[in-house]
């Protein structure tokens, strides 16, 4: 039997599973099946890769698989939905670290010999270590910002971009030395210098990952997560070239390309360029509470809010991170069902950057079994917002801030938002009048048609549900 042919067929099958799995992930209705299809493809790829190894240390393989499976199962079962963004960021980092170690290991295996090495191989090793290092350390910073371990505001200092540029130029210079030193063969005495060059590149990559991420504000973390996800895919793709594994090249390319596409979608959703996200330090200056916009907020009680909702014939929910913190998605779905039974047309409008990662609100509502057909995007509902009886904002802030449309001096100016302020009545569920994650005051709170329902979102919605049940 031609085992090489069989392995090739298996790799092609795994790649097909990856492609179809990724396609299915693009729709909430098929996302769960898409995840399963992709997992099957990865299983085929891993088994095929192991079958190609001349010598397998099964003890290490079983131990690694056991530890990884245990960590994955515990993370899936125990990590709260509010912690999902930082967990995704952390997984991106581990993907980058794995690629870095693959590149390092491959070079270590070649280091002892003084034979000439192809330039292509040296370049791919360099890229694997460089991208993997930047991804790992950058993801740790993103994790820290999302988890609150590091301040969410951008950490800026004089000459920050200049320092990052110097480090990048230094990486290129050392990389040229690293890649060209082995082309004609090196004496044994010169091998240590090549190894040291790789260590220096890895160290500078880790530093660059930290310095390039700390200057990005917490409000931009959805974009950063997408970008780091793309980096992890590119690092895996480079690792595939290093070890000559076709399925790793394919899967890494898919992740890298999809991450870049998603990054572009997130930037468009904020009407900002990627360069602006990475280098502007957005959110470094936070406006003082109550000084940006003047007016008097109009509080409303759950009983009065019920009377408004009971008479409504069209209701749009706009969820945000506050809903995730309060774990209110289940009672929100229950309230939506009661409104539908009462004759109201109910929709859930999800802004692309709502929450702390792409699709955060979609995941929460899917967990609560909200029908996929009820989920809409801002461009779907904004043209008819003036005809909406009630817009209910649950923990969202920046994505409903009318300053993006009305105030040219606002940092949010030009950002597409959900135009809840144009609805007949807007009920905002929030704990206080404090600014959102971007640190920008919200004039929505003082609009004539806005009513503020203060308190924990879950408790407030539960009271509304109780009123309907009565």
Q: Which of 220, 398, 419, 421 is catalytic?
A: 398
Residues ≥6 apart with Cβ < 8 Å to 359: none
Helix ranges restricted to H, 148-214:
160-181, 188-214
Q: Which element (helix H / strand E) includes 394?
A: strand 390-394
Sign of the CA dihedral running 34, 40, 43, 45: negative
Q: Is 207 helix (H, G, I), strand (E, B) or coil?
A: helix
Our answer to whether residue 398 is catalytic in this structure is yes
How is residue 287 annotated by DSSP? Answer: P
CA distance linking residue 377 with residue 318, whole number of Å: 10
Write down how long the chain is: 470
Which tokens in the block code for residue 74?
A: 């515990």
Residues ≥6 apart with Cβ < 8 Å to 275: none
Which tokens in the block code for residue 379?
A: 């461009």
Q: Which element (helix H / strand E) includes 251?
A: helix 246-270
Cα pseudo-dihedral 433, 435, 436, 438, rounded to 10: 170
Instruction: Quote the strand ranges of 79-182, DSSP E.
Output: none
Active-site residues: which are they? 398
């Amino acid at each position: 039997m031609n085992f090489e042919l069989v392995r090739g067929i298996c790799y092609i099958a795994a790649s097909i599973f990856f492609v179809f799995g990724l396609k299915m992930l693009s729709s909430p209705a098929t996302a769960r099946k898409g995840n399963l299809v992709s997992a099957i493809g990865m299983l085929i790829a891993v088994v095929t890769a192991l079958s190609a190894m001349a010598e397998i240390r099964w003890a290490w393989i079983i131990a690694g698989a056991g530890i990884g499976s245990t960590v994955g199962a515990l993370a899936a079962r125990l990590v709260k939905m509010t912690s999902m963004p930082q967990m995704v960021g952390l997984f991106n980092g581990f993907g980058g670290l794995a690629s870095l170690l693959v590149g390092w290991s491959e070079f270590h295996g070649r280091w002892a010999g003084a034979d000439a090495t192809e330039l292509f191989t040296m370049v791919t090793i360099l890229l694997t270590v460089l991208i993997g290092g930047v991804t790992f350390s950058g993801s740790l910073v993103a994790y820290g910002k999302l988890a609150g371990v590091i301040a969410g505001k951008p950490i800026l200092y004089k000459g920050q971009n200049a320092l990052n540029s110097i480090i990048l130029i230094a990486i290129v210079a050392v990389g040229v030395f690293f890649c060209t030193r082995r082309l004609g063969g090196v004496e044994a005495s010169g091998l240590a210098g090549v190894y040291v060059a790789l260590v220096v590149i890895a160290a500078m990559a880790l530093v660059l990952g930290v310095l390039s991420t700390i200057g990005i504000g917490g409000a931009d973390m959805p974009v950063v997560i997408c970008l780091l996800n793309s980096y992890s895919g590119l690092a895996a793709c480079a690792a595939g070239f290093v070890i000559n594994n076709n399925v790793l090249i394919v899967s890494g390319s898919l992740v890298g390309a999809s991450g870049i596409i998603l990054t572009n979608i997130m930037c468009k959703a904020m009407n900002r360029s990627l360069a602006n996200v990475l280098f502007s330090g957005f959110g470094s200056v936070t406006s003082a509470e109550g000084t940006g916009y003047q007016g008097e907020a109009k509080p409303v009680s759950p009983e009065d809010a019920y009377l408004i909702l009971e008479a409504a014939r069209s209701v749009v929910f706009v969820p945000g991170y506050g809903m995730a913190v309060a774990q209110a998605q289940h009672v929100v779905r229950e309230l939506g069902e009661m409104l539908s039974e009462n004759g109201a047309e109910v929709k859930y409008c999800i802004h692309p950057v709502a929450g702390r990662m792409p699709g955060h609100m979609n995941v929460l509502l899917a967990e609560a079994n909200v029908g996929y057909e009820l989920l809409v995007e801002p461009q779907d509902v904004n043209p008819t917002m003036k005809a909406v009886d009630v817009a209910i904002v649950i923990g969202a802030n920046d994505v409903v801030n009318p300053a993006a449309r009305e105030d040219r001096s606002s940092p949010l100016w030009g950002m597409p938002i959900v135009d809840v302020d144009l609805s007949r009545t807007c009920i905002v569920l929030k704990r206080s009048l404090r600014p959102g994650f971007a640190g920008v005051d919200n004039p929505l709170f003082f609009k004539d048609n806005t009513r503020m329902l203060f308190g924990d979102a879950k408790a407030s919605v539960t009271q509304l549900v109780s009123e309907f049940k009565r």
